[in-house]
Structure 1
């Protein structure tokens, strides 16, 4: 049994145009979070999708990153533990399965529904995820930079958000030590 591309892209099973527009993660989360408004599900989709994207930038999602994503969803979005766990499970599954195919949808959802201040909070949360294992790889840093650009934030905004996390950057940690003698 091969990969069903029509199903993967939401073109089967009578998918609504909304599902096609917002993608697989939105569709799955809409089902799981049926008590929330479309806007709330859209914001949760955008944020969890981007958190997953950064966690998977190095092609693995660690347990520490999963715990941090869950924590961010609970503290920043007010999800209870059960809903946060469901969102994390679906996000992790689809992040690996889709491997970047729908990433543009997440920034679009955030741009449609969030203010600049909320985007800056998200950028800091992305650095929290990337630094969950006490290290931010070049791939994770690049992914966050690309997300910042796609969120229509400036380079200065990116640098400001990253300032508290520079000690975790692999590129900084791996600099040769200066001889002080």
Structure 2
């Protein structure tokens, strides 16, 4: 099962040279959102609910598609050695507004369990830098996501 998921995800991420597909963008964004959720070693129900809501709203996908996307992204996160493969896809396929929304979503997940962990904040900051979100937009996203 894990091999099938990994194979599917790998083929989707590497895709064709014709450009980044919408599905590849969804997988990359979901993986980055999951990185925030799991970095503190506690992926609880409130973080999962927030993640699901963000993905369903951002991509307009059903609950079933969202569940599949989360499973695929979790598998890839476990296999990834860095966030580069995800941030590269985001840089190649997302507008500045999409990047802002991603960072805002990452903050929402970090705040979801009621405890902003220093590692969660580090991951959001690192991704923000890697996808070239300005510091002012980083702060604006943090304030917009704060409960």
* Length, aligned pairs only: 138
Judging by fraction of residues, say which structure has more helix: 2
Matched, 1:140 2:120: yes
Matches within 5 A, 1:76-155: 76-95=58-77, 97-98=78-79, 100-155=80-135
Runs (4 or more) in structure 1 with deviation over 4 Å come to none
SS at match of 1:88: helix
What is the alpha-carbon distance in structure 1 between the residues aligned to residue 66 and residue 31 of structure 2? 13
Q: Please state how far the C-alpha of 1:91 moved relative to its aligned partner.
A: 2.1
Unaligned runs of 5+ in 2: 13-18
Q: Please state how far the C-alpha of 1:38 moved relative to its aligned partner.
A: 5.2
The correspondence for 2:57, drawn from 50, 60, 75, is: 75
Matched, 1:27 2:10: yes
TM-score normalised by L of structure 1:
0.68
Higher RCO (C-alpha under 8 Å, 6+ residues apart): 2
Q: Please state how far the C-alpha of 1:52 moved relative to its aligned partner.
A: 0.8
Cα distance change, pair 39–61 in 1 and its aligned pair in 2 (3 A): same
**Aligned residue number for residue 34 of structure 2:** 52
SS at match of 1:131: helix
TM-score normalised by L of structure 2:
0.82
What is the alpha-carbon distance in structure 2 between the residues aligned to residue 110 and residue 25 of structure 1? 19
Query: Is the 2:54–2:105 contact (alpha carbons within 8 Å) kept by the matching residues of 1?
Result: yes
Query: Is the 1:120–1:157 contact (alpha carbons within 8 Å) kept by the matching residues of 2?
Result: yes
Q: Report Cα offsets for 1:100-123 as digits up to 9, x if no partner.
A: 514111111010001101100111
Matches within 5 A, 1:141-180: 141-165=121-145
Query: Is the 1:123–1:161 contact (alpha carbons within 8 Å) kept by the matching residues of 2?
Result: yes
